[in-house]
Amino acid sequence: MIERPTCPPEPQPVAGSVTRSAIFLVATVRDDEAAHASVRGWCADAAAYVRAVGKRVPAGNLSCVVAFSDNAWDRLFGDPRPAELHPFREFGSGQRLAPATPGDLLLHIRADQMDLCFELATLMLNKLGDAVSVVDEVHGFRYFDMRSMVGFVDGTENPEGREALGFTVMGDEDPEFAGGSFVLVQKYLHDMTAWNALPVEAQERIIGRTKLSDVELDEGVKPSWSHSALTTLEEDGKEIKIVRDNMPFGRPGAGEFGTYFIGYARSPAPIEQMLENMFVGRPPGNYDRLLDFSKAVTGGLFFAPSAALLEALAEREAPAVAESTALARLIDVSSTATPVLDVTASFPGQSSPTQPSAALADGSLHIGSLKGVSQA
């Protein structure tokens, strides 16, 4: 009898097609077993909701990624858990800070039409009911020819096809969670008045690319503190990439102009290294000058299980039951409740900024030989 090869688990659409619209939803889960059971049961239905809405407009390219934070995983599912899943690590300080903000559940909904995103978000949240509280909701859009809010083309160096899956989907490094991905999100607000006052040449040096043609600046011209230089990583002579699917958002009447950053990777380490380079500097003090005009107001790290595991999570026992029988790690539910936090923020002259939460870790990344590409 010929033994058939085992197919790797199907990932969620973390490296899906670029779409014109997106909704980013971050929610906290009410801290009682009834709410936990509701969310676990909902995991089995999430894909069905995508099919139900997507089939009505097949060309709409609808998809949804569901992901959970470290805190939520422990409370909802217990052990086993992804080895590298941990709370969001804060970087920087003062006005240049990447803050950690509350969030247990992330929904990244994408489609070429906002009505599809809106319909799916409505159905999913109706099903979850009062088991969750949405703490951040952003409706993103594509800005002309893939431009970011600051006017430069975004995502040019994203890996594609099999390469994208190789950088974003876990393999045998954590076998029980093969097919899963880590996803880090941040909401940035921009001081567009100050940014637009800069000459184009100054903007190009800050980004590290030309504004009109989207060509990377030559190494002899591009500053070491440019956004491009500090977010380029290399390990053992090879570039380490992530998949970004950033979206502009805003409310002109309220003076709000922003970018929702979302990055997928098979380990959180590369994205965290990029944040350290940006907010602390490489070397320290040589920080990303884009942060003189852009302020991070939210931050969360989540794990998106494979499609099959997401559905199977509905059958997980409550962690308290599993622990009582397996004598596993103890979880003090009362101390892990996630508070709701106002994540609005502003620049001087606008409303008061959000007070960042306390640092969650020492900021060390423990990622071995991962280093930045040397720049002139």
For 183, 259, 286, the CA distances from 300, given in Å and listed in that order, are 8, 15, 24
Integer Cα distance of 90 and 300 in angstroms: 10
CA 262 to chain CA mean position, Å: 4
Distance CA 192, CA 190 (A): 6
pTM of the model: 0.85
* pLDDT, position 231: 97
The average pLDDT across 178-206 equals 98
* Both tokens assigned to 42: 């909902």
Element (H, E) at 68: strand 63-68
Q: Provide the pLDDT for residue 319.
A: 86
| pLDDT exceeds 70 at position 321 | no
Assess contact for 21 and 57: CB atoms under 8 A. no
CA distances to 85, 118, 210, 288 from 303, in Å? 7, 23, 35, 27
3-state secondary structure of 179: coil
236 carries an active-site annotation: no
SS3 182: strand
Beta bridge partners of 243: 264
Residue 230 tokens, joined: 């500090």
* Closest to 43 measured CA to CA, from 68, 63, 61: 68
Instruction: Read off the DSSP letter of residue 239.
Output: E
Catalytic choice (70, 74, 136, 154) = 154
pLDDT digits over 216-233, tens only?
A: 999 999 999 999 999 999
> Are 70 and 36 in contact, with CB atoms under 8 Å apart?
no
* pLDDT for the residue numbered 8: 79
The more confidently predicted of residues 349 and 277 is 277
Cβ proximity of 276 and 288 under 8 Å: no
Provide the percentage of residues in the chain whose pLDDT is more than 90. 79
Q: Which two tokens stand for residue 219?
A: 């190494």
pLDDT of residue 320 exceeding 70: no
- Provide the 3-class DSSP secondary structure of residue 203: helix
- Rounded Cα–Cα distance for residues 28 and 18 (Å): 27
Per-residue pLDDT, averaged over 49-77, amounts to 97
Higher pLDDT, 351 or 115: 115
Q: Examine the pLDDT at 333 and tell me if it is beyond 50.
A: no
Beta strands 238-240 and 243-244: pairing type? unpaired
